[in-house]
């Protein structure tokens, strides 16, 4: 009888300990998922911010006048990055008004 | 003392003894036996009898005891019933309401706004995008000293301290008050450095709309207000597509309102709005804006606008209006700058309207290409009205009538059309109704119903008076001539980034309203002969572009003086429309200048043509349109 009682008690304790361990694992995983979601959101925000910045820096309004006047130094690549890509005619073109000056 | 009342026998327990009276009168009672503990009565001795009498309870005590018991029981039963009734009320009748209330107190639904989609140009350059920004709020009821608090915030945010103090004082009992929304990173840093008491302030994430190209295409794009709603331009008209779907999350709070958990199963993530690719080309747009700025500097007009269109597809490559505004700084926008003159402003087209009348007469066989028109020596009386030309012309070919922009010659051509024919022609070129550009605030123009036409209407309309058009209507009508006679609705949206929810818009974007405006041969002849001659030797000579055969039409028009109700002698609208190459038009440019005030000229050929030509030249190069000599060489076997 004592053996059976003891076995039952041990079983109950083992189940409880197992349950607690699983619960802790669940919570840890949940924390991890939430952390990943937060990181993803933060990276998305950073991506949006950097995209805005690159678009501002590369805006035609900002670059073209300098390009047309020859004030912008261009590092011309040896060849096109993509075969068949069209060369921008703007690199070889200057406004008639600026040429007149 | 005699007691006449009969007394019944009763038992009294005294000190564990039962005393029984015999119920006789007082005299008899004195003679009664007093029971011992063992119940045996002892004939009454006087002392014992007195003692027994003194301990004998009155009859009313028992009654009182009974009543008390009754009251206690009754109270207990009533209380029990009341509790039961209340429980039934709470658990049965008000159960759902109270459960909902408890749920409300425990959980809090937090709205998660969806970021709007981006607006892109036709090559994918970002015209409008969204980033996160922090908005500052305070908890007025937790702020201990308002004035120092207001002073520090005002210093960090460059706001008025008095105004902040007033607002805080007015909302003293509130738990939430916006101080400034969508802070710049510098402002955010300044607020953090203040080290204000925790719990009295906080930041909340909000979306901030940014326009990386600055003022470029501001009128076409519009902007978003403080609550993120689209106002003006494509931001407003495409609101349903750009906005996306807001999400929500449920927060579980403790008794003090602190968040302790998230109810994951009730979360709905926000869905970002779709990106929209417009037909605008940021580079062409920049050319148009730059030329408009130069034009405005030179001629100081009330306003001006420029449109660049592909006549074959109807796609708008650029649309600019002056005065302009910076959508990144909406508070600095002046009242006049909001108006997009390309769609929300009307003017009498003047001479730019004349080719449509010629096309209608040619199409109906009422005019031959080699006909000669008598231009009356520069003056023609029409009832009480006298029509003038700039110069005294005699007989001229149809081409020359357009090249010299003779009003008299045009009135004679128009007279060959009946009023219904002229009315039908005007409608077929898209005047008198909105073009369907998808821009908010687009005006339909003004064309009087046929029944309201006077005897002068035919003449007036033949020279582009007595009707009002928007610049967009005008360029669409000329596109119909340039593409061989088909009127195509203007297009501003190329596609949306592929969610199924936006297929409706995709189909709308890829669909154009197309209608036959005029005969193909008449349209081709007008473009390749009279309108090309206008630029070669007529009023539009300043629009010549080396390497390309340009066609065009100038359009000076007098404005109505609202005070006199007649045409003003000093206020004009100068416009110029041109396109190239004449053999296969790829680009059309329209520049309209409202009331140029300097340099003493108002003619479209002087005011607008140079800018239009420069925009055209730059656009042709940008689009890699082959020059005429190259084209001819490649066409020759």
What's the whole-number average pLDDT of chain B? Answer: 86
Q: Is the pLDDT of residue B349 over 90?
A: yes
Ranking B135-149, B233-247, B564-578 by mean pLDDT, the lowest is B564-578
Optimal mutation site among B115, B116, B131, B244, interface A, most CBs of chain A within 10 A: B131
B125 touches A: beta carbon within 8 Å = yes
* Proportion of chain A above pLDDT 90, given as a percent: 51
Q: Which pLDDT value is given to residue B228?
A: 87
CA dihedral B425, B431, B432, B438 (to 10 degrees): 140
> Does one domain contain both B134 and B263?
yes
Categorize the per-residue pLDDT at B71 as very low, low, confident or very high, splitting at 50, 70 and 90: very high
Q: Which pLDDT value is given to residue A51?
A: 94
Q: Which pLDDT value is given to residue B556?
A: 77
Categorize the per-residue pLDDT at B307 as very low, low, confident or very high, splitting at 50, 70 and 90: very high
> Does one domain contain both B24 and B146?
no
> Does one domain contain both B119 and B257?
yes
B73 touches A: beta carbon within 8 Å = no
B216 touches A: beta carbon within 8 Å = yes
Q: Do residue A89 and residue B621 have CB atoms under 8 angstroms apart?
A: yes
Query: Residue range B230-251: average pLDDT?
Result: 91
Q: Is the pLDDT of residue A97 over 60?
A: no
Answer yes or no: is B263 within a domain: yes
Optimal mutation site among A30, A35, A44, A48, interface B, most CBs of chain B within 10 A: A48
A10 touches B: beta carbon within 8 Å = no
Answer yes or no: is B461 within a domain: no
- For B166-212, how does the pLDDT look when each residue is reduced to its tens digit (9 = 90+)? 999 999 989 899 999 989 889 999 999 999 998 899 999 899 999 99
Q: Is the pLDDT of residue B339 over 80?
A: yes
Q: Which pLDDT value is given to residue B20?
A: 52
What's the burial of B627, exposed, middle or buried (CB within 10 Å: 0-12/13-18/19+)?
A: middle
Q: Do residue A59 and residue B624 have CB atoms under 8 angstroms apart?
A: no
Domain boundary among the residues B245, B278, B311 is at B278
Query: Residue range B21-36: average pLDDT?
Result: 44
List, in sequence order, every beta strand (DSSP E) within B218-287.
223-224, 230-231, 247-253, 259-268, 276-278
Categorize the per-residue pLDDT at B92 as very low, low, confident or very high, splitting at 50, 70 and 90: very high
Q: Is the pLDDT of residue B626 over 80?
A: yes
Q: Do residue A59 and residue B216 have CB atoms under 8 angstroms apart?
A: yes
Answer yes or no: is B560 within a domain: no
Q: Do residue A45 and residue B283 have CB atoms under 8 angstroms apart?
A: no
Q: Which pLDDT value is given to residue B564?
A: 80
Q: Do residue B283 and residue A96 have CB atoms under 8 angstroms apart?
A: no
Q: Is the pLDDT of residue B41 over 50?
A: no
> Does one domain contain both B52 and B114?
no
B326 close to B215: Cβ distance less than 8 angstroms? yes
* Proportion of chain B above pLDDT 90, given as a percent: 61
Instruction: Choose the closest CB to B131 out of A52, A64, A97.
Output: A52
Instruction: With beta carbons under 8 A apart, name residues in chain B contacting A95.
Output: 618
Q: Do residue B212 and residue A90 have CB atoms under 8 angstroms apart?
A: no
B307 touches A: beta carbon within 8 Å = no
Instruction: Choose the closest CB to B131 out of A49, A89, A97.
Output: A49
Instruction: With beta carbons under 8 A apart, name residues in chain B contacting A59.
Output: 125, 212-214, 216, 282
Burial readout B435-453 (b: 16 or more C-beta within 10 A, e: otherwise) = bbbbbbbbeebebeeeeeb
B29 touches A: beta carbon within 8 Å = no
Query: Residue range B456-479: average pLDDT?
Result: 94
B126 touches A: beta carbon within 8 Å = yes
Q: What is the CATH number of the domain that holds B133?
A: 3.90.1310.10
Q: Which pLDDT value is given to residue B267?
A: 83
Answer yes or no: is B262 within a domain: yes
Query: Residue range B441-452: average pLDDT?
Result: 93
What's the rounded Cα separation, in Å, for the pair B424 and B428? 6
Q: How far is A83 from chain B (nearest CA, A)?
A: 19
Q: Any residues with CB less than 8 A from the CB of A36 and at least 6 apart, and which?
A: none
Instruction: With beta carbons under 8 A apart, name residues in chain B contacting A89.
Output: 621-622, 624
A99 touches B: beta carbon within 8 Å = no
Chain A CA closest to residue B117: A48
B130 touches A: beta carbon within 8 Å = yes
Q: Any residues with CB less than 8 A from the CB of B284 and at least 6 apart, and which?
A: B308, B317, B318, B615, B618, B619, B622, B623
Q: Is the pLDDT of residue A24 over 90?
A: yes
Domain boundary among the residues B278, B294, B323 is at B278
> Does one domain contain both B125 and B260?
yes
Answer yes or no: is B65 within a domain: no
A29 touches B: beta carbon within 8 Å = no
Instruction: Choose the closest CB to B126 out of A55, A64, A90.
Output: A55
> Does one domain contain both B166 and B239?
yes
* Proportion of chain B above pLDDT 70, given as a percent: 87
A95 touches B: beta carbon within 8 Å = yes
Q: Which pLDDT value is given to residue B35?
A: 42
> Does one domain contain both B219 and B142?
yes
> Does one domain contain both B114 and B52?
no
> Does one domain contain both B45 and B163?
no
Whether cis (ω within 30° of 0) applies to the bond prior to B323 is yes
pTM (2 d.p.): 0.78
Categorize the per-residue pLDDT at B552 as very low, low, confident or very high, splitting at 50, 70 and 90: very high
Q: Which pLDDT value is given to residue B504?
A: 56
Categorize the per-residue pLDDT at B40 as very low, low, confident or very high, splitting at 50, 70 and 90: very low
Optimal mutation site among A38, A41, A46, A60, interface B, most CBs of chain B within 10 A: A60
Query: Residue range B503-519: average pLDDT?
Result: 68
Q: Is the pLDDT of residue B84 over 90?
A: yes
Chain A CA closest to residue B124: A55
Q: Which pLDDT value is given to residue B330?
A: 84
Instruction: Identify which of B287, B343, B304 has the alpha carbon closest to the alpha carbon of residue B596.
Output: B304
Q: Which pLDDT value is given to residue B1?
A: 41
Categorize the per-residue pLDDT at B116 as very low, low, confident or very high, splitting at 50, 70 and 90: very high
Predicted-complex ipTM score: 0.73
User: What is the number of structural domains in chain B?
Assistant: 2
Instruction: Choose the closest CB to B212 out of A55, A64, A96.
Output: A55
Q: Is the pLDDT of residue B313 over 80?
A: yes
> Does one domain contain both B136 and B48?
no
B354 close to B464: Cβ distance less than 8 angstroms? yes
Q: How far is A55 from chain B (nearest CA, A)?
A: 6
- For B390-442, how does the pLDDT look when each residue is reduced to its tens digit (9 = 90+)? 888 889 999 999 999 899 999 999 999 999 999 999 999 999 999 988 799 99
Q: Is the pLDDT of residue B17 over 60?
A: no
Query: Residue range B506-524: average pLDDT?
Result: 76
Answer yes or no: is B254 within a domain: yes
Q: How far is A27 from chain B (nearest CA, A)?
A: 12
Q: Is the pLDDT of residue B277 over 50?
A: yes
Q: Report the relative pairing of strands B276-278 and B119-120 from DSSP bridges.
A: parallel
A46 touches B: beta carbon within 8 Å = no
What's the rounded Cα separation, in Å, for the pair B553 and B550? 10
B621 touches A: beta carbon within 8 Å = yes
Domain boundary among the residues B40, B56, B72 is at B56
Answer yes or no: is B328 within a domain: no
What's the rounded Cα separation, in Å, for the pair A10 and B137? 56
Cα angle A40, A41, A43; round to 5? 65
Query: How many CB pairs lie under 8 A apart between chains A and B?
Result: 52
Q: Do residue B213 and residue A52 have CB atoms under 8 angstroms apart?
A: no
A52 touches B: beta carbon within 8 Å = yes
Answer yes or no: is B194 within a domain: yes
Residue ranges making up the domain that contains B39: 11-56
Categorize the per-residue pLDDT at A77 as very low, low, confident or very high, splitting at 50, 70 and 90: low
Instruction: Identify which of B154, B162, B146 has the alpha carbon closest to the alpha carbon of residue B197.
Output: B146
Chain A CA closest to residue B206: A45
Q: Report the relative pairing of strands B126-138 and B201-210 from DSSP bridges.
A: antiparallel
Query: Residue range A17-27: average pLDDT?
Result: 96
Query: Residue range B308-312: average pLDDT?
Result: 96
> Does one domain contain both B132 and B51?
no
> Does one domain contain both B164 and B15?
no
Q: Report the relative pairing of strands B107-112 and B247-253 from DSSP bridges.
A: antiparallel
Q: Is the pLDDT of residue B601 over 60?
A: yes
- For A32-72, how does the pLDDT look when each residue is reduced to its tens digit (9 = 90+)? 998 998 999 999 999 999 999 999 998 988 888 777 777 77
């Amino acid at each position: 009888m004592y053996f059976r009682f003891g076995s039952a008690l041990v079983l109950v304790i083992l189940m409880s300990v197992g349950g607690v361990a699983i619960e802790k694992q669940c919570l840890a995983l949940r924390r991890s998922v939430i952390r990943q979601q937060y990181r993803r959101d933060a990276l998305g925000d950073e991506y949006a911010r950097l995209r805005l910045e690159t678009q501002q820096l590369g805006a035609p309004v900002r670059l073209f006048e300098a390009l047309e006047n020859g004030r912008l130094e261009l590092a011309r690549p040896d060849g096109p990055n993509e075969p068949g890509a069209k060369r921008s005619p703007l690199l070889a073109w200057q406004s008639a008004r600026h040429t007149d000056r | 003392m005699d007691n006449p009342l009969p007394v019944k026998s009763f038992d009294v327990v005294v000190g564990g003894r039962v005393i029984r009276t015999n119920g006789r009168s007082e005299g008899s009672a004195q003679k009664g036996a007093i029971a011992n503990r063992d119940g045996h009565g002892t004939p009454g001795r006087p002392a014992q009898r007195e003692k027994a009498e003194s301990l004998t309870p009155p009859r009313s005590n028992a009654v009182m005891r009974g009543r008390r018991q009754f009251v206690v029981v009754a109270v207990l039963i009533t209380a029990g019933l009341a509790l039961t009734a209340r429980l039934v009320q709470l658990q049965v009748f008000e159960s759902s309401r109270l459960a909902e209330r408890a749920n409300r107190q425990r959980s809090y639904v937090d709205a998660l706004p969806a970021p709007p989609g981006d607006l892109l140009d036709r090559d994918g350059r970002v015209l409008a995008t969204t980033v996160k920004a922090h908005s500052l709020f305070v908890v007025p009821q937790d702020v201990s000293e308002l004035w120092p608090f207001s002073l520090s915030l005002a210093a960090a945010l460059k706001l008025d301290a008095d105004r902040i103090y007033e607002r805080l004082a007015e909302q003293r009992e509130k738990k939430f008050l916006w101080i400034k929304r969508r802070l710049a990173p510098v402002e955010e840093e300044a607020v953090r450095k203040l080290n204000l008491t925790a719990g009295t302030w906080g930041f909340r994430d909000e979306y901030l709309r940014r326009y990386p190209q600055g003022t470029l295409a501001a009128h076409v794009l519009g902007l978003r207000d403080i609550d993120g709603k689209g106002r003006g331009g494509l931001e407003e008209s495409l609101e349903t597509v750009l906005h996306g779907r807001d999400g929500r999350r449920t927060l579980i709070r403790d008794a003090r309102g602190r968040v302790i958990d998230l109810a994951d199963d009730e979360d709905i993530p926000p869905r970002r709005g779709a990106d929209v690719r417009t037909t605008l080309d940021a580079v062409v747009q920049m050319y148009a804006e730059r030329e408009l700025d130069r034009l405005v500097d030179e001629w100081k007009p009330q306003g001006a606008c420029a449109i660049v269109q592909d006549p074959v597809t109807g796609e708008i490559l650029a649309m600019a209006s002056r005065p302009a505004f910076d959508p990144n700084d909406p508070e600095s926008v002046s009242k006049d700058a909001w108006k997009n003159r390309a769609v929300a402003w009307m003017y009498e087209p003047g001479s730019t309207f004349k080719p449509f009348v010629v096309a209608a007469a040619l199409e109906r066989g009422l005019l031959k290409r080699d006909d000669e028109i008598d231009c009356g020596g520069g003056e023609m009386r029409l009832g009480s009205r006298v029509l003038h030309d700039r110069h005294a012309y005699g007989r001229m070919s149809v081409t020359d009538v357009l090249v010299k922009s003779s009003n008299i010659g045009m009135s004679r051509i128009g007279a060959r059309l009946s009023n219904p024919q002229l009315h039908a022609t005007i409608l077929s070129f898209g005047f008198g109704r909105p073009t369907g550009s998808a821009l908010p605030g687009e005006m339909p123009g003004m064309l009087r119903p046929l029944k309201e036409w006077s005897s002068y209407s035919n003449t007036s309309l033949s020279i582009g008076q007595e009707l009002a058009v928007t610049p967009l209507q005008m360029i669409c009508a000329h596109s119909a001539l340039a593409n061989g006679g088909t009127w195509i609705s203007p297009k501003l949206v190329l596609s949306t980034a592929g969610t199924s929810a936006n297929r409706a818009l995709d189909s709308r974007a890829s669909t154009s309203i197309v209608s036959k405006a005029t005969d193909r041969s008449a349209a081709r002849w007008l473009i390749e002969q009279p309108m090309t001659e206008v630029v070669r030797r007529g009023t539009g000579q300043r629009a010549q572009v080396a390497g390309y055969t340009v066609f065009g039409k100038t359009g000076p028009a007098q404005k109505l003086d609202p005070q006199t109700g007649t045409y003003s002698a000093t206020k004009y609208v100068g416009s110029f429309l041109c396109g190239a190459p004449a053999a296969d038009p790829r680009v059309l440019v329209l520049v309209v200048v409202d009331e140029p005030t300097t340099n003493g000229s108002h003619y479209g050929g002087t005011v607008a043509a140079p800018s239009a030509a420069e925009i055209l030249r730059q656009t042709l190069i940008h689009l890699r349109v082959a020059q005429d000599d190259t084209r001819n060489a490649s066409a020759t076997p």
